[in-house]
Amino acid sequence: MSAIASVIGHGNPVSAEPRGEPGAELKAELSAWLDLHAEALDTDSSRAADVLPQLAKAGLARVGVPDALGGSGGTIGDAILAIAAVARHSLTAAFVLWGHRTFIEYLVQSDNETLRDRWLPALLAGHVAGATGLSNAMKYLSQIEPLQMRASPSGAGWSLAGTLPWITNLRLQGFVVAAAFEHECGAPPSIFAIEHDAADVARSADLDLVAMRASNTAALSVNGTVLDDASRIASDARAFLVRVRPAFLGLQCGMSVGLAERALAEVAVASAGSRAVLAAEAADVEAQLAGQTKQLLDGVLDGTFREQPAALFELRIALAKTVEAAVALEVQASGGRGYLRGTGATGGTARRVREAAFIPVVTPSLVQLKAQLAAYYDGTAAR
Ligand SMILES: Cc1cc2nc3c(=O)[nH]c(=O)nc-3n(C[C@H](O)[C@H](O)[C@H](O)COP(=O)(O)OP(=O)(O)OC[C@H]3O[C@@H](n4cnc5c(N)ncnc54)[C@H](O)[C@@H]3O)c2cc1C
């Protein structure tokens, strides 16, 4: 039984019928598309425009969003499972869904109803891409670096300036991105939603990535863009980030869950000889993954991770180790075939090695989390 299925099968707190697993027909169509293009999504940007529409067509942007807001209901746990389900096929697509769904979560949790009403329908339908440029803000929250964006008063609003070097899902066809700004007047930093065609907004060319090249990852500059309160997601960035961090990180952990699960599934279909040798190790990793997945879903739903962020930091680190172990087992199980392009047990072993390399890098990175945990335990950390 898979890690996710075993959680669901043993009293998953999310729902008996997880909405993260879309209906069979949609699931089959999306799975087939992802399997067909997973290598290309990783190695070139030719299908970058198609990823979000495919995910949205399968209803994944709506998972865990209240019905009253146009979603398909369920919880953030269901949205995590949806990202895991996509990551089983393609981490590039799962990361696009992470950025998109995380931006949607900002709007769901924002007090700014006008902003929510303005953007949510187009985001849920996948007509506009949601992006989260909050790595810098998350590092700021952990006292690692200052905010790189500045806001100065301008008429009834603020003039915004600065550059964010890495943002995913900056879809060329249209996006809206969250970024945090330091206020020159001394007010607390706040978070704005910046749309792609606002004046003085510039998206760079796609970054020349070694992998995940269809993720629409680019730098974004604003240079005198004027926005007012109607475009503010949160007027107090620090309080808002603490509030959304469990969802931000929890959705990210969905990528680890799905990737590890797929690698273990590949071990399970390897040749009988290698399977027999690796069976005990694979069973250990699978049990770890099932336990961590349950802890993840329980923690995001029962408020544990808001009260004890360190527990979520530890879980994100533990899941990264599980991914590493699962992919290492897949490499061993696949043998030489895994080293040939387009082959491997059922294909994709080398790609999953590259995908696994991304897991420790994404903000908050493992280095950052380890530093943050050390500070928690010696009592010097900010929340
Ligand atoms: C493909 C891709 C897509 C990305 N998409 C997004 C996105 O959509 N949105 C977004 O906001 N960001 C995104 N990022 C940015 C990503 O999250 C960064 O890699 C991350 O912010 C680390 O920044 P850096 O590489 O500049 O780290 P550096 O500043 O060079 O630091 C190296 C490592 O050490 C850690 N570190 C540095 N100083 C400290 C310290 N004092 N204490 C503890 N740890 C420290 C950093 O977190 C990092 O892990 C993306 C990156 C990649 C590769």
Any ligand 1 atom below 6 A from CB of 368: yes
pLDDT band at 340 (very low <50, low <70, confident <90, very high): confident
Any ligand 1 atom below 6 A from CB of 144: yes
pLDDT number for residue 25: 38
pLDDT band at 27 (very low <50, low <70, confident <90, very high): confident
Any ligand 1 atom below 6 A from CB of 132: yes
Ligand 1 atom with least separation from CA of 364: 47
Q: Which whole number is the average pLDDT over 6-20?
A: 33
Q: Among 204, 244, 365, 380, which residue has the most ligand 1 atoms within 8 Å of its CB, making it the best to mutate?
A: 365
pLDDT number for residue 11: 30
Any ligand 1 atom below 6 A from CB of 211: no
Contact 30, 22 (CB under 8 A): yes
pLDDT number for residue 343: 52
- Check pLDDT > 70 for residue 321: yes
317: closest CA among 327, 328, 325, 329?
325
Does domain 240-377 correspond to CATH entry 3.40.50.2300? no
* Least-confidence region, from 187-196, 230-239, 253-262, 327-336: 327-336
pLDDT number for residue 335: 82
pLDDT number for residue 19: 39
Task: Quote the ligand 1 centre to 272 CA distance (angstroms).
Answer: 41
pLDDT number for residue 339: 76
Any ligand 1 atom below 6 A from CB of 361: yes
* Least-confidence region, from 19-28, 122-131, 182-191, 282-291: 19-28
Domain ranges of the chain: 3-128, 132-237, 240-377
Q: Which whole number is the average pLDDT over 92-109?
A: 98
For 59, residues 6+ apart whose C-beta sits below 8 A from its C-beta are 22, 23, 26, 72
Q: Which whole number is the average pLDDT over 211-223?
A: 97
- Check pLDDT > 60 for residue 16: no
% of residues, the chain, pLDDT over 90: 81
Any ligand 1 atom below 6 A from CB of 212: yes
Residue nearest to ligand 1 atom 6, measured at CA: 167
240: closest CA among 105, 345, 47, 114?
105
pLDDT number for residue 377: 85
pLDDT number for residue 47: 97
Residue nearest to ligand 1 atom 14, measured at CA: 166
For residue range 142-153, what is the model confidence (pLDDT) as tens digits? 888 899 999 999
- Check pLDDT > 70 for residue 345: no
For residue range 191-203, what is the model confidence (pLDDT) as tens digits? 999 999 999 999 9
Contact 95, 357 (CB under 8 A): no
Would you say the CATH fold of 240-377 matches that of 3-128?
A: no
pLDDT number for residue 346: 52
Tokens (6 digits) for 91? 């981490």
Q: Which whole number is the average pLDDT over 260-267?
A: 96
| Sign of the Cα pseudo-torsion (351, 37, 86, 102, in order) | positive
% of residues, the chain, pLDDT over 70: 91
- Check pLDDT > 70 for residue 110: yes
- Burial bucket for residue 209 (CB in 10 Å: 0-12, 13-18, 19+): middle
Any ligand 1 atom below 6 A from CB of 207: no
CA angle 60, 50, 3 (to 5 degrees): 40
For residue range 364-383, what is the model confidence (pLDDT) as tens digits? 899 999 998 998 888 776 65
pLDDT band at 23 (very low <50, low <70, confident <90, very high): very low
Q: Among 135, 147, 194, 206, which residue has the most ligand 1 atoms within 8 Å of its CB, making it the best to mutate?
A: 135
Any ligand 1 atom below 6 A from CB of 354: no
pLDDT number for residue 347: 66
- Check pLDDT > 50 for residue 21: no
- Residue scoring higher pLDDT (317 or 344): 317
Any ligand 1 atom below 6 A from CB of 362: yes
Q: Which whole number is the average pLDDT over 159-167?
A: 97
CATH class held by domain 3-128: mainly alpha
Contact 83, 258 (CB under 8 A): yes
Any ligand 1 atom below 6 A from CB of 112: no
Any ligand 1 atom below 6 A from CB of 252: no
Cα 70 from chain centre: 21
- 132-237 falls under which CATH superfamily? Butyryl-CoA Dehydrogenase, subunit A, domain 2 (2.40.110.10)
